[in-house]
Amino acid sequence: MAERIAIFDTTLRDGEQSPGASMNVHEKIQIALQLERLGVDVIEAGFPIASQQEFEAVQTIAATVTKPSVAALSRAVDKDIERAAAALEKAACPTLHTFIATSDIHLEHKLRMTREQVMEQTDKAVRLARRLIDRVEFSAEDATRSALDYLVQVTRIAIDAGASVINLPDTVGYTTPGEIEEMFRYVIAHTPGSDKVVFSSHNHNDLGLAVANALAAARGGARQIECTINGIGERAGNTSLEEVVMAIKTRQNVYPFETGIITEEITNASRQLSNVTGLPVPYNKPIVGRNAFAHEAGIHQHGVIASRITYEIMTPESVGRSRSELVLGKHSGKHGLAKRCEELGYTLSKEELQQLYDRFIELTDRKKEVFEDDLRVLIASTRNETFETYRLAHLRTSGGDPTMALVKLQHGEDLFVETATGDGPVHAACMAIERITGITGRLSEFQVRAATPGKDALGDAHVTVEFAGRAYYGTGASTDIIEAAISAYLNALNKYLAMKQ
């Protein structure tokens, strides 16, 4: 029988550290519920000491999901640990995750502590965490650049102090598969009591090796893999959940393990996260990218027609993908809309459903065929109103060089109107918005993609805007690409205002 690998999902904690990928409490709940449907073993909900909003998000998730364990992160200091424990008070199965660095690089340049001081702090922190929460995970930050014998010493102290899980992370994405496999084998073999705990692997993707390193760690004895949906995370991201899970499922002869992931929910999780964060999934992304099961070369098409196994090592259906089909039309009712949203992994309140239905009916007046991806984009644009401070009430552009834009913004009960000129319609409209709000933003990235095929496709706009030196992602949707772009810009602006407040 294959050994079980636990999947520890840190999308809501490490994943949210992607620049501009902030989520509010409501959005975090929606993602947490999808992770529960996906079947992850642990949801790391956040870092409670960071802010009151972060504390409330962890607290709410802990009280909402029931099947996975809910984890909260803390530094190895008393106030962090106590705050994390308080946030987890209502969790059915809480995990308190505490960490301290163990590499000489971090000890010298960041902590300014000796090895002996770190060992003392580890003992103290884990013992406090264990008194407050039964399940404690200890992480030796920057483990892959730590001396192996010292790593063994710290691991032994954490186990003796009551840790249930030992995480040896590749914090900066430095290691290679051979090195990390050997590290796990060495630490497990030389640490007394290692058979009583679960060893975990958390890898970053700076060299593009996060998934390979996670799989190698499993071969070396790790029985928990820490990852994120779509591989999001700070810098180059984390181990991609969908890639590591499908590698295990597809290559059982090489990785004789099993996970509890319901793989048919992978696509729903990927697209829902993309819509919430505004981080688009690259077309060539393994497993969940739009082109992952597409075949353009003639010889490939011929092979797939003859037998899909010629060029597909897994089926689209195994990860919850199918052809985009017409799902609803203008005569569809609210009940049918709610049911289809539920099938796509979205839980909507009555207010959200009404807002979505109004926009859906408006869309069907302009677009005869509403596809699955249209609906996902529509849900995301509706949920952007969580951040809404300014709403686009009207937009008109004219002229060529320069272009003139007239913009009307709704702010509560007030309506503001401004005109401006620019190098193009988007630039001119942004200048008008700047005049209304008094806030200057720098548009650094701008993408518009069709959600589905056809001339009347819903344009899905993604922008990155810098306000006060920080990047914010915004999304918008419309059959008019200029309107979609300006809606996305406003979404980023509203996020900035929400975070500022």
Quick check: 451 pLDDT over 90? no
Quick check: 436 pLDDT over 90? yes
Residues 44, 14: Cα–Cα separation, whole Å: 8
Strand 414-422 with 403-411, pairing: antiparallel
Query: Which pLDDT does position 310 carry in this prediction?
Result: 67
Question: What average pLDDT does the segment 365-390 reach?
Answer: 71
Q: Which comes out higher in pLDDT, residue 300 or 173?
A: 173
Query: Which pLDDT does position 314 carry in this prediction?
Result: 87
Q: Which comes out higher in pLDDT, residue 492 or 150?
A: 150
pTM: 0.80
> Edge to edge, what strands does the sheet with 391-398 contain?
391-398, 403-411, 414-422
Quick check: 100 pLDDT over 90? yes
Whole-angstrom CA distances from 236 to 188, 233, 273 are: 29, 7, 17
Residues 225, 259: Cα–Cα separation, whole Å: 10
Which residues are CB-contacts of 120 (< 8 A; sequence separation ≥ 6)? none
**Which of 129-133, 274-278, 451-455 shows the lowest per-residue confidence on average (mean pLDDT)?**
451-455
Quick check: 420 pLDDT over 60? yes
Strand 403-411 with 391-398, pairing: antiparallel
Query: Which pLDDT does position 324 carry in this prediction?
Result: 52
Contact between 31 and 272 (Cβ < 8 Å): yes
Helix axes 177-190, 148-161, angle to 10 degrees: 50
Q: Which two tokens stand for residue 454?
A: 């056809």
Helix count (H) and strand count (E) of the chain? 16, 18
Question: What average pLDDT does the segment 144-151 reach?
Answer: 98
Question: What average pLDDT does the segment 96-124 reach?
Answer: 97
Q: Which two tokens stand for residue 358?
A: 């109004």
Q: Which two tokens stand for residue 249?
A: 């499922």
Could you read off the pLDDT of 346-355 as tens digits, one per residue? 888 888 888 8
Q: Which two tokens stand for residue 281?
A: 């999934």
Query: Which pLDDT does position 486 carry in this prediction?
Result: 92
Quick check: 323 pLDDT over 60? no
Q: Which comes out higher in pLDDT, residue 283 or 22?
A: 283
Q: Which two tokens stand for residue 445?
A: 């990235």
Question: Would you place residue 327 in the very low, low, confident or very high pLDDT band (cuts 50, 70, 90)?
Answer: low
Question: What average pLDDT does the segment 452-463 reach?
Answer: 75
402 DSSP assignment: S
Query: Which pLDDT does position 470 carry in this prediction?
Result: 82
**Which of 33-47, 106-120, 457-471 shows the lowest per-residue confidence on average (mean pLDDT)?**
457-471
Q: Terminus-to-terminus CA distance in the chain, angstroms?
A: 53
Angle (CA) 190-194-197 rounded to 5° is: 160
Contact between 484 and 379 (Cβ < 8 Å): no
Residues 225, 222: Cα–Cα separation, whole Å: 7
Query: Which pLDDT does position 28 carry in this prediction?
Result: 92
Which residues are CB-contacts of 464 (< 8 A; sequence separation ≥ 6)? 20, 443, 444, 445, 446, 471, 472, 473, 474, 492
Quick check: 356 pLDDT over 90? no
Question: Would you place residue 321 in the very low, low, confident or very high pLDDT band (cuts 50, 70, 90)?
Answer: confident
Pure H helices in 39-136: 52-64, 78-87, 104-106, 115-132
Quick check: 487 pLDDT over 60? yes
Q: Which comes out higher in pLDDT, residue 204 or 451?
A: 204
Round the average pLDDT of the chain to a whole number and report it.
89
Question: Would you place residue 304 in the very low, low, confident or very high pLDDT band (cuts 50, 70, 90)?
Answer: very low
Q: Which two tokens stand for residue 91?
A: 């969790």
Question: What average pLDDT does the segment 47-67 reach?
Answer: 95
Contact between 222 and 200 (Cβ < 8 Å): yes
Whole-angstrom CA distances from 472 to 20, 38, 229, 433, 468 are: 4, 28, 20, 16, 10
Question: Would you place residue 301 in the very low, low, confident or very high pLDDT band (cuts 50, 70, 90)?
Answer: very low
Whole-angstrom CA distances from 141 to 99, 106, 210, 237, 268 are: 6, 9, 16, 16, 32
**Which of 157-171, 237-251, 409-423 shows the lowest per-residue confidence on average (mean pLDDT)?**
409-423
Quick check: 380 pLDDT over 60? yes
At 197, give phi and psi (nearest 5°): -125, 165
Per the document, the length of the chain is: 501
Q: Which two tokens stand for residue 16?
A: 């949210």
Residues 384, 277: Cα–Cα separation, whole Å: 10
Quick check: 367 pLDDT over 60? yes
Query: Which pLDDT does position 299 carry in this prediction?
Result: 47
The structure tokens 């914090």 sit at: 171
**Helix/strand/coil for 220:** coil
**Which of 32-46, 85-99, 312-326 shows the lowest per-residue confidence on average (mean pLDDT)?**
312-326
Q: Which two tokens stand for residue 216?
A: 């190698």
Residues 315, 261: Cα–Cα separation, whole Å: 16
Angle (CA) 457-385-397 rounded to 5° is: 55
395 strand-pairing partners: 407
Question: Would you place residue 229 in the very low, low, confident or very high pLDDT band (cuts 50, 70, 90)?
Answer: very high
Nearest to 69 by CA among 135, 14, 121, 5: 135
Contact between 463 and 445 (Cβ < 8 Å): yes
